[in-house]
Chains A and B, each alone.
Chain A
Amino acid sequence: MTTAAATALIERDFAVPDIRCAGCIAKLEQGLVRDSRIASARVNFTEKRVHLSCAADAKMPDLIGAFSLLGFEAHPIGDGPADVDAQAATSRELVRAVAVSGFAMMNIMLLSVSVWSGAAGATRDLFHWLSALIAIPTVAYAGRPFFRSAWRALSHRQTNMDVPIAIGVLLTTALSLYETATSGPHAYFDSVVMLLFFLLCGRWLDSVMRDRARGGVTALLRNMGTGAMVLDDRGATRWVDATELQPGMVMLVAAGERLAADGLIVGGASQIDLSLLTGESAPVAADIDDRVHAGTLNLDAPIRVKVTAAGTDTAIADIARLMGEAAQGKSRYVRIADRAARLYAPAVHLLALLSFIGWMAVGAGWHHSLLIAVAVLIITCPCALGLAVPAAQIVAAGALMRVGVLIKDGSALERLAEVDRALIDKTGTLTLGRPDAIDLDRVDEMQRPLLLALAQASRHPLSEALTRELAARGVMPDAVDNIRETPGFGVEAIWRGHQVSLGRPQVPLFGSTLATELAIDGVPAATIHFADRLRPDAGAAIDALRKAGIEPTILSGDRAEAVAPIARELGMTAQTGMSPQDKLSAIARQSAAGHKVLMIGDGLNDGPALAAGHASIAPGSASDAGKNAADCIFLGDRMMPVVQAIDMARRTQAIVRQNFILAIGYNVFAVPLAILGHVTPLVAAVAMSGSSLIVVGNALRLKAAIR
């Protein structure tokens, strides 16, 4: 504590996905400060983050070590990109605008109720002036998001939903002010502010949804903020952040570690798992002078890699370029509310104009005619469009989050509802993307505790798979002595006086099958084979997709021999050996044929395809590029959440359509009243809040839709 207090403190954020209960909060907050370098720790449960104040000289591996000592896996979160801050600032601004307009609405309503219940003469004028005093600053402050967006649309010669809102708000405020100044009976300040309040609520819900999903995604970005142990000239090692790696540095990459940069192997030989990069499921042997890529997994033995390219100029820059191009197509998608507004706005303006002209024609005078036109504008203002769509979508996104699907924004839900073709990657998407022991049942019951004892001493991916599965079967480890890990070979120990080892099979296996061998006194006792298995409910999920009218196809970068058995088991057609460019053109072909394509994939090589698909989903284990490009992310081993997400998206779309019909029905009823001049501020207030409550209530029905 004293050392930490003496030096300057720095703040760091970590994503800790495994925070699940109050116990975890207590354990982390009280456990972490026992480390002398950490001054304070604060858990944010909602975002699954931990905020540390630590000594400036605390190294990243030490801090991560402090987490793992407590049994948690922590991932450092770098200083977020600038656009993240901008988004958070937008949400904060919206919250403030909602609060201000809510406050103003309540106070003006208080004054309005007195006017409606019969205040007259000087009292009414006083109340109208007070309302104006509250309403005008509120409109100026809380209306800014709408005015800004309407202005942007108009200056591009387009209309969006905000154009009728901005015109309606400004016109109504101006007319109400005139009414107040001339002691008129009706001022619509309450309607204006109420309108702003409801619409801002809708906007705010939309941004809350994006924020929440973004929090979830950041917590999942594992590879971000990683780095490597770098060997300097004097032979000492130090931890270097991925962003600070320079070409020419030599990284030490342990078995089971992901490479942080592209490079050439200068020491050691190993097997490299390329599945995130190419979709290839079988590991590739790599020797001195072989080129290795960032994001691939070193499986076997420690290697030294001389960095040739780091950060943004790695070999995946090519994939990044493809992704940029592919994403442009998606930005052309127009949200359903804006599509509706394109029809709605001109109709509303025309109607208001016609009622103005109509009343002028029958000789009502311009003042009375303008009042009626404003009443029409207020009644038709698209509350249902502004509030109903985000309300339905946030309820749907919340329900999906509980089954383990993160939806990045509302437009993703809309697009997901429209898909009718699914292109699915194999490695890591249909399969789990990690080695699983396939013949553990053939291992002698007596040898299992020994296997676990040896496996849990190593961080090799195969050992970790073994540990996971044996522990899941309730096996308890045996006691072993003199345990020792030899890189590139395996683990050795003394067990009941025998020399035992777990490691690479003595007789090389055919092909590139992954296997490990248990030997007792040098005699092979058991061989365990590993394979990347199908997700447990992949078959059911594929069937459910077909039932939902979505035809699935496999789109894999792997070899045909590796894809065929899976395609046969699931009864799917498959295209194999595809490069990222091939996947893109496959999507383009389907789109050209008029299909809306859902891309499901995880790898770096799927990145462009995920960006190009009409909608896209990635598993939580996907590469960062994949998770960033996808619209939705599903967590866990099961694949069924994909189907649930599509189902939920379709239900949401149905609710949104119902809400539109409700809104139109309400207009059919209320607009004639407004045109005939029967809409007083009281009627407008009742109609507006009534219709908003109905559409929100309808949206809440989605909460029960997911089982």
Chain B
Amino acid sequence: MNGLIFLIPVALGLGLLGLAAFFWSVRKGQFDDLDGAALRIFVEEEEEKES
């Protein structure tokens, strides 16, 4: 019983962490271009000229 008091919040916390990560990635547009992400691995690195 004592173990539960500790373990259940941990389990829920980890779940919530996953949920928060999913929400974050949806909002950041990680799922907007699923087919493109697969192809970008073939794109040559462009020369360094970040603005």
Which A residues are within 8 Å of any B CB, using their own CB?
1, 5, 21-23, 25-26, 29-30, 39-40, 43-47, 92, 95-96, 99-100, 103, 106-107, 110-111, 123, 126, 130, 134
Partner of A103, one of B19, B32, B41: B19
Tell whether, in the assembled complex, residue A39 and residue B51 are in contact, meaning their CB atoms are under 8 Å apart. Answer: yes
Partner of B39, one of A1, A45, A95, A96: A45
Q: Is the interface of B mostly helix, strand, loop or mixed?
A: helix
Tell whether, in the assembled complex, residue B42 and residue A47 are in contact, meaning their CB atoms are under 8 Å apart. Answer: no
Q: What 1/0 flags go to B19-42 for Cβ under 8 Å of A?
A: 100110010000011111001111
Tell whether, in the assembled complex, residue B18 and residue A96 are in contact, meaning their CB atoms are under 8 Å apart. Answer: no
Question: Would A46 and B34 be within 8 Å (CB), given that A22-B43, A26-B44 are in contact?
Answer: yes
Q: Could you list 19 further interchain pairs (A-B, Cβ under 8 angstroms) beyond the known A22-B42, A46-B36, A130-B8?
A: A25-B36, A25-B39, A25-B40, A26-B46, A29-B43, A29-B46, A39-B51, A45-B33, A45-B39, A47-B33, A95-B26, A99-B23, A103-B16, A103-B19, A107-B11, A107-B12, A110-B11, A123-B1, A126-B4
Closest to B37 in A: A45
Complex CA–CA separation, A44 to B36 (angstroms) = 6
Residues of A within 8 A of B35 (CB): 45-46
What is the distance, in angstroms, from A75's C-beta to the closest C-beta of chain B? 19
Complex CA–CA separation, A323 to B38 (angstroms) = 41
Tell whether, in the assembled complex, residue A96 and residue B23 are in contact, meaning their CB atoms are under 8 Å apart. Answer: yes
Q: How many A-B residue pairs have CB under 8 A?
A: 62
Complex CA–CA separation, A44 to B51 (angstroms) = 21
What is the distance, in angstroms, from A17's C-beta to the closest C-beta of chain B? 14
Question: Would A44 and B8 be within 8 Å (CB), given that A22-B39, A30-B46 are in contact?
Answer: no
Partner of A44, one of B11, B18, B33: B33
Complex CA–CA separation, A92 to B32 (angstroms) = 11
Complex CA–CA separation, A684 to B11 (angstroms) = 25
Residues of A within 8 A of B15 (CB): 103, 106-107
Q: Is the interface of A mostly helix, strand, loop or mixed?
A: helix
Tell whether, in the assembled complex, residue B43 and residue A26 are in contact, meaning their CB atoms are under 8 Å apart. Answer: yes
Residues of B within 8 A of A110 (CB): 11
Tell whether, in the assembled complex, residue A44 and residue B32 are in contact, meaning their CB atoms are under 8 Å apart. Answer: yes
Residues of A within 8 A of B11 (CB): 107, 110
Tell whether, in the assembled complex, residue A21 and residue B39 are in contact, meaning their CB atoms are under 8 Å apart. Answer: yes
**Can you list 11 A-B pairs, Cβ within 8 angstroms, ordered by A?**
A22-B39, A25-B39, A29-B43, A30-B46, A39-B51, A43-B33, A44-B33, A45-B36, A95-B26, A110-B11, A126-B4
Complex CA–CA separation, A46 to B46 (angstroms) = 22
Which B residues are within 8 Å of any A CB, using their own CB?
1, 4, 8, 11-12, 15-16, 18-19, 22-23, 26, 32-36, 39-44, 46, 51
Residues of A within 8 A of B39 (CB): 21-22, 25, 45
What is the distance, in angstroms, from B15's C-beta to the closest C-beta of chain A? 5
Closest to B44 in A: A26
What is the distance, in angstroms, from A121's C-beta to the closest C-beta of chain B? 11
Closest to A114 in B: B4
The 8 closest A-B pairs by CB, nearest first: A45-B36, A22-B42, A22-B39, A26-B43, A103-B19, A44-B33, A46-B35, A46-B33
Residues of A within 8 A of B1 (CB): 123
What is the distance, in angstroms, from A125's C-beta to the closest C-beta of chain B? 12
Complex CA–CA separation, A100 to B41 (angstroms) = 32
Complex CA–CA separation, A30 to B49 (angstroms) = 11
What is the distance, in angstroms, from B34's C-beta to the closest C-beta of chain A? 6
Looking at A1, A22, A47, A130, the one whose CB has the most chain B CB atoms below 10 A away is A22
Residues of B within 8 A of A25 (CB): 36, 39-40, 43
Looking at B8, B35, B39, the one whose CB has the most chain A CB atoms below 10 A away is B39
Residues of A within 8 A of B22 (CB): 99
Tell whether, in the assembled complex, residue A22 and residue B40 are in contact, meaning their CB atoms are under 8 Å apart. Answer: yes
Residues of A within 8 A of B23 (CB): 96, 99
Residues of A within 8 A of B40 (CB): 22, 25
What is the distance, in angstroms, from B40's C-beta to the closest C-beta of chain A? 6
Residues of B within 8 A of A107 (CB): 11-12, 15
Closest to A44 in B: B33
Tell whether, in the assembled complex, residue B18 and residue A103 are in contact, meaning their CB atoms are under 8 Å apart. Answer: yes
What is the distance, in angstroms, from A536's C-beta to the closest C-beta of chain B? 29
Complex CA–CA separation, A46 to B18 (angstroms) = 26
Residues of B within 8 A of A130 (CB): 8
Residues of B within 8 A of A96 (CB): 23, 26
What is the distance, in angstroms, from B45's C-beta to the closest C-beta of chain A? 10
Complex CA–CA separation, A100 to B24 (angstroms) = 13
What is the distance, in angstroms, from B23's C-beta to the closest C-beta of chain A? 7
Complex CA–CA separation, A111 to B34 (angstroms) = 35
Tell whether, in the assembled complex, residue A46 and residue B32 are in contact, meaning their CB atoms are under 8 Å apart. Answer: yes
Complex CA–CA separation, A44 to B33 (angstroms) = 6
Complex CA–CA separation, A409 to B21 (angstroms) = 31
Residues of B within 8 A of A92 (CB): 26
What is the distance, in angstroms, from B6's C-beta to the closest C-beta of chain A? 14
What is the distance, in angstroms, from A24's C-beta to the closest C-beta of chain B? 9
Closest to A106 in B: B15
Residues of A within 8 A of B26 (CB): 92, 95-96, 99
Closest to A134 in B: B12
Residues of A within 8 A of B18 (CB): 103
Residues of B within 8 A of A40 (CB): 51
What is the distance, in angstroms, from B24's C-beta to the closest C-beta of chain A? 11
Residues of B within 8 A of A5 (CB): 51
Complex CA–CA separation, A39 to B19 (angstroms) = 35
Closest to A20 in B: B39
Closest to A133 in B: B12
Complex CA–CA separation, A57 to B39 (angstroms) = 33
